[in-house]
Amino acid sequence: MKKWVAKIAFWAWVGLLLVFSLTPFLWFLITSLKSQIQILQSPPAIWPEGGFHFYLSAISRFQLFRFMKNSLVVAGSTTVLSLTIGALAGYALSRLPVRRKPLILGGILAVSMFPQISIVGPVWRILRSLGLLNTYPGLVAPYIMLTLPLAIWIMASFFKELPTELEEAAKIDGCGPLKTLVKVVAPVAAPGIFTAAILIFIFAWNEFFFALLIMTRPEIQTLPVGIALFPGQFTIPWGELSAASVMATLPLVFLVLLFQRRIIRGLSAGSIVQ
């Protein structure tokens, strides 16, 4: 009897969390399929009858695909560069006899806890002096700075769990450190690499604050900034905003669902780094 009560309570709690988490997304999805009259009526209509015209409007009128392309370039570049640097640094920290290794990793992780508002001023001045405002590299560079601590921490934790016998065998076969990392260690560490890559990509795809200040030209703005600045002549275009939000969220949902097992394995690996 107690087991059944515990199971019912558990699944009730899971259901409550699902409802709490999915309700905003489902509401945006329903709103994006309503007509303009349904959006403005009170009480709000539950069953949509408008079709996909808001999606077409967001794509043609508000140039949604242009913002998605900009976000894809920025997020993809950030993921590749941050993951490459993080893998090299994490491998070095996990294998080389570095003194005070936990202190170094703790310091790296502590850097990522600084609020963005406290560093955006110096970062903006540096980018302006280098002529990198309103450029892809000008936004990718701060994103690498913000995501690199997480990449190093995840990769160092995962590399620490791998047996050293693999690298010793590769060394006997004549592989150098870099070739060993690329050919031997990286394929085995795929769950950790996937985890770091997806978390970095999601951060860069969703980041708003730096993108708003660095990318001021409409043709180069990323998706969160572009959606936030959708123009409306007399009213807020809630239909187009909802459609754009759904289209911005669905790629991340599919990405996480596709690699959820690798993400869980990567996050649970390397809990303790010595």
Q: What is the pLDDT of residue 233?
A: 57
Q: What percent of the chain has pLDDT over 90?
A: 25
Give me the percent of the chain exceeding a pLDDT of 70: 93
pLDDT at 207: 93
Q: Give yes or no for a contact between 208 and 117, defined as CB atoms under 8 angstroms apart.
A: no
Interior angle at CA 60, CA 55 and CA 61, nearest 5: 95
User: Taking the alpha carbons of 255, 258, 262, 267 in that order, is the dihedral positive or negative?
Assistant: positive
pLDDT at 271: 47
* pLDDT tens track for 224-247: 999 888 876 567 888 888 899 899
pLDDT recorded at residue 126: 93
Tell me how far apart the alpha carbons of residues 90 and 160 are, in angstroms, rounded to a whole number: 9
Higher local confidence (pLDDT), 121 or 259:
121
Q: What is the DSSP string of the chain?
A: -HHHHHHHHHHHHHHHHHHHHHHHHHHHHHHHTS-HHHHHSSSPPSS--STTHHHHHHHHTS-HHHHHHHHHHHHHHHHHHHHHHHHHHHHHHHHS--TTHHHHHHHHHHHTTS-GGGTHHHHHHHHHHHT-TTSHHHHHHHHHHHHHHHHHHHHHHHHHHS-THHHHHHHHTT--HHHHIIIIIHHHTHHHHHHHHHHHHHHHHH--HHHHHH--SGGG--HHHHHHT---SSS--HHHHHHHHHHHHHHHHHHHHHTHHHHHHHHHS-----
Note the pLDDT of residue 27: 86
Asked whether the whole model's pTM tops 0.75, one would answer yes
Least Cα distance to 205 among 57, 58, 69 occurs for 69
Q: Model confidence at 9, in pLDDT bands (50, 70, 90)?
A: confident
Asked whether the predicted pLDDT for residue 268 surpasses 70, the reply is no
Residue 140 pLDDT grade (very low, low, confident, very high; cuts 50, 70, 90) = very high
Model confidence at 272, in pLDDT bands (50, 70, 90)? Answer: very low
What pLDDT is attached to residue 274?
Answer: 42
Q: Is the pLDDT of residue 180 over 60?
A: yes
Residue 195 confidence (pLDDT) above 60? yes
Task: Give the residue-averaged pLDDT of 134-153.
Answer: 92
